[in-house]
Every structure is written in structure tokens, then in C-alpha cells.
Amino acid sequence: MRELGVRPGDPAIPVFPFTISATGKTYIAKGFDDRVGCGLFIDVIKRLVNEKHPNTVYGVGTVQEEVGLRGARTSSWVVEPDVGLTMEVGVAGDVPDVKKDDAQGKLGKGPVIVIRDGSMIPNLRLRDLFVETAEELGIPYQFDSLDRGGTDSGAIHLHRQGVPNLVVAVPTRHIHSHAGIIHREDYDHTVELVRAVVIRLNSETVADLTK
């Protein structure tokens, strides 16, 4: 490939334009892992701009998660978070040849609350706050547990004396391919759920997470 000017280590990006399915409900695109996460925190912050809440909210698009959670480690020192929320894609298990124990998320069934992955067991009171908020607002949700792999939460929850953390995800088919698939309602419900929880995270609630 040298005659084309391509060298070992150069990034390659497949041509796969963003596509909306015929139903208008599912989106197909490359790199949903983790452009979805970046989109989530941008939309959450946009919705919080005109709302009264007690928090300073940071959205961080980290780097090198797959090779050591490096961006999560450095950004934790910059932000010094009281609570960390990792917004991700979840592995949708509603495709052929995926065992139920490997991935429980399904498209169209709401945000995924991750109760365990290879890098972290979440703060259970923070998990309960998400569940209670979802049920109060009528937001559908689902749980998932991953034996393999991890997220930026693996680094964030170990920062300093520890940071209460939770992974909230949009179920996504074919996450490491150039043709990932998400359901728009799952995305919108995730934005609404995170927004609602952030509003409830006052100093008393945050202190209760680690009692």
C-alpha cells in the first residue's frame, strides 16, 4: 500500500454514510461506539442549560478507552468528579448467534443500566436512583451484565478515594463494525433519564451514595 501513501499505523475509515431506516425509527452508521456517548452528553447538557439544578456538569469525550482507559484517567484528574456517569453503547443481544448470557439488551426496549462489567460493579445506590427515576417518569429501561470488556468507568470509579459511577447505554447492534444500528427512542429515553437524574443529584443525594 506504500505506493498509495498508506503506512503501517495509519487510520482507515470505511465509507458508510449515516442512514435512517424505512421505518424512521432505527439509525445505521459507523462508529456508534462511542459517538453515541458523545451525542448523549451533548444533548443532556443542552437540555440542562435552561433548567435549575445544583450541579456543574462536564461532558468528556475520552480517548484510548480500548487500550487502557487512558483518557478516562487523565480527565478524572481535570474534572475531579463527585459522581461519574459513563454514557456508552450497549451490546444488543437481539441478533442471531448471540447467547442470552452474553448480551441482554434489545433495541426499542429503553436505556441499558449496566449492573456489572469486566472493569466495575457500579454504585448500587446510584443504580437504584436511575431505576426509581425511570419508573417514576415512565421511562422503559433494561439491565445488562458483561463478563468481558469494560468501559471508562473502570478508571473513573477508582479516582482518588473513589467516585460513585454507573454505565448507562443505548443498546446497539454490531458495535465494532461500520454498520451499527440503534433505535431512536432508546437514545431519546437515555437522554431524558440522565437529565432527570442529574437534576436530582443535590449535595444530600450525592453524600448518601457513599454512606
pLDDT of residue 70: 97
Only one residue has cell 448523549, namely 40
Report d(CA 121, CA 114) in Å as an integer. 9
Which domains are delineated in the chain? 33-202 (3.40.630.10)
Q: Shortest CA distance to 95 belongs to which of 34, 26, 153, 151?
A: 26
Q: Give yes or no: 132 in active site.
A: no
pLDDT at 106 over 90: yes
Catalytic residue among 65, 66, 135, 204: 65
Indicate the SS3 state at residue 170.
strand
Grid cell locating 184 = 431512536
Rounded to whole angstroms, the Cα distance separating 198 from 52 reads 11
Beta strands 84-91; 165-172: pairing state? parallel
Amino acid occupying residue 198: V
- Residue 93, C-alpha cell as written in the block: 443481544
Cell of 1: 500500500
This prediction has a pTM of 0.93
Read off the pLDDT of residues 161-192 as tens digits, 9 standing for 90 and up: 999 999 999 999 999 899 999 999 999 999 99
Per cent of the chain over pLDDT 70 is 99
Q: How many CA atoms lie within 13 Å of 76's alpha carbon, on the beta-carbon side?
A: 24
